Amino acid sequence: MLSGIVAAPATASDKLIIWADDERGKQLKPVLDGKVYGGKTVEIVTYTSKTTLDAAFQAATAANGPDILFGPVGESVTAAKNGKALPFVLSRASAANLPLAAVQYGQYKGRQYGLPLDIDSVSMIWNTKFGKAPKSLAEFSTRFAAAKKAKKANYGACTSDGSWNSLSFISAMGGYSVGVNAAGVPNPRDVGVNNPTFISNLKKYALGADGKSNGLLKVDMWETCSVDWLAGKAMAVVTGSWRIPATDAAKIKYTIQPFPTVSGVGNSKTVAGWGGAYITSFAKTNKKESAAKAFMNFMATPAGSTLYAATVQRPSPNSKVAANQSKILKAFAQSMAKTAVPQYNNLYDNKTGGANYFEVLQDAWNKVLIRGQNPKTVWDKAAAVLRKNFIAGAKN
């Protein structure tokens, strides 16, 4: 059995088995467990992290796999391509409440696979005990140096989801992931992670005399990033609204805004998609397809979307829900509206060069910030791998 499983997987014929990560699953389980859709009783199986969930699903079979998965909607398209997801019909009424881009994000070959239920992106949460949020990265750098010297802060800003939300750092310093034309179509040959301006600013603001991180920027996961953040020893964290409960519990006072650019002009960018749910192929194998579709149809309604949004506390893309959400979620949505760029899964998931976009970025950050390797050399190699991936991915 894989480690990290909170509840043992099951595919009992009378149950609609739904898998989710530690955030969505932990919140949805008390609300959805025991509810009946299409004659099947819901059972939420929660994993301790997205990583363990992904590993479990990759190894799953019809005998032990889920009928429905909660997670990034873009993954429904990947699953559909691999024959591991089933299409469903999103009614016109439900689709009308969602942005067209969100609906299309869950489509493959003209059929709907993923149901968008939350906006899956990030903003900067700033600890106001360090004063007002800096208007520029240059200001942030100066203030962090002073706070570090006074032993008030161990680092400036941390990504709580690794390289996935590190585009905020890259774009703030002049880089980008992939170039996009006026029509919004990405150019797979135009890779910007080794942009000279980015490399120059990275060395100027984020690296110390030893060539390693000076602490201003940290590309890390929540398990370690949270230690300093929740202890009040970090000035900011770049993450999503799902980290607000832990932040509130730590009694940190904060503001929400985009991560600042070097000059303070313009906005940094964040990778954005939508979170939600999709039906797996196991539902059909185990004769639970109709029940799974009944569940999806409910979640697509204003009532279902409201229930989901109120439970997971993430910004909703549903127009019937968004206007009634909390000030905090509205603040996230407003920040994301300025910074979000699409998560091009066909490009980012491709491994033609040997590793996908997120793996390449994490490796590059580790080599530069932790090992102190030459930034230009590292990011040039990263760009070369990504260019191969993107060109291959664009053909799919």
Q: Is the predicted pLDDT of residue 8 greater than 60, yes or no?
A: no
Question: Do 312 and 255 share a structural domain?
Answer: no
Query: What are 303-323's pLDDT values in tens digits?
Result: 999 999 999 988 999 999 988
Please name every residue paired with 41 in a beta bridge, in sequence order, or none if there are none: 15, 36
CATH code of 203's domain: 3.40.190.10
* 78 lies in some domain: yes
Do 362 and 223 lie in one domain? The reply is yes
Phi then psi for residue 294, to 5 deg, are -65, -40
**Pair (179, 100) in one structural domain:** no
User: Is 4 inside any structural domain?
Assistant: no
* Residue 155 and residue 222 in one domain: yes
> pLDDT tens across 371-380, in order?
999 999 999 9
Given this model, what pLDDT does residue 248 score?
96
Residue 3: per-residue pLDDT: 36
Place of tokens 């549903």: 318
Tell me: do 266 and 278 sit in the same domain.
Answer: no
Q: Is 2 part of a structural domain of the chain?
A: no
* pLDDT tens figures, 155-166: 999 999 999 999
Instruction: Look at residue 180 and tell me if it is in a domain.
Output: yes
Per-residue pLDDT tens over the stretch 273-307: 899 999 999 999 999 999 999 999 999 999 999 99
Residue 47 is predicted with a pLDDT of: 95
Q: What's the domain range around 323?
A: 15-120+273-333
| pLDDT band at residue 263 under the 50/70/90 scheme | very high
- Let me know: does 124 contact 256? Beta carbons within 8 Å: yes
Residue 54 placed within a domain: yes
Which three-class secondary structure string do you get for 306-332?
HHHHHHHCCCCCCHHHHCCCCHHHHHH
Q: Determine the straight-line distance between the first and last CA of the chain, rounded to whole angstroms.
A: 34
Final residue belonging to a domain, choices 315, 333, 351:
333
Q: Show which of 333, 359, 385 is a domain's final residue.
A: 333
- Domain assignment present for 98: yes
User: 7 falls in which pLDDT band (50, 70, 90)?
Assistant: very low
Specify the 3-state DSSP secondary structure of 219: strand
Structure-token pair, residue 92: 């016109």
Residue 29 has pLDDT above 70, yes or no: yes
What is the total count of domains within the chain? 2
Query: Does residue 9 belong to any structural domain of this protein?
Result: no
Query: How far is it, in rounded angstroms, from Cα 56 to Cα 69?
Result: 12
Q: Indicate the pTM of the whole model.
A: 0.82
Does residue 137 sit in the same domain as residue 219? Answer: yes
Percent of the chain with pLDDT over 90: 81
The residues, ordered by sequence, that sit 6+ positions from 56 with a Cβ below 8 Å of its Cβ are 2, 5, 9, 19, 47
Give the pLDDT of residue 11: 57
pLDDT for the residue 45: 97
The whole-chain average pLDDT of the chain stands at: 93
> Above pLDDT 70, what percent of the chain?
97
Residue 10 has pLDDT above 80, yes or no: no
Whether 374 and 239 share a structural domain: yes
Domain match, 297 and 381 both? no
Q: What is the DSSP letter of 163?
A: G
Whether residue 320 sits in one domain with residue 384: no
- Does 113 share its domain with 19? yes
Model confidence band, residue 12 (pLDDT cutoffs 50, 70, 90): low
Instruction: Report the alpha-carbon distance of residue 135 to residue 126 in Å, rounded.
Output: 12
Mean pLDDT (whole number) for 2-20: 66
Q: Which of 304, 333, 362 is where one domain is finished?
A: 333
Average pLDDT of span 180-203: 94
Q: pLDDT band for position 395 (50/70/90)?
A: confident
Write out pLDDT tens, residues 105-161: 899 999 999 999 998 889 999 999 999 999 999 999 999 999 999 999 999 999 999
| pLDDT, greater one: 195 or 337 | 195
Q: Is residue 174 located within the same domain as residue 250?
A: yes
Q: Say whether both 211 and 355 belong to one domain.
A: yes
Q: Is 237 within a domain?
A: yes
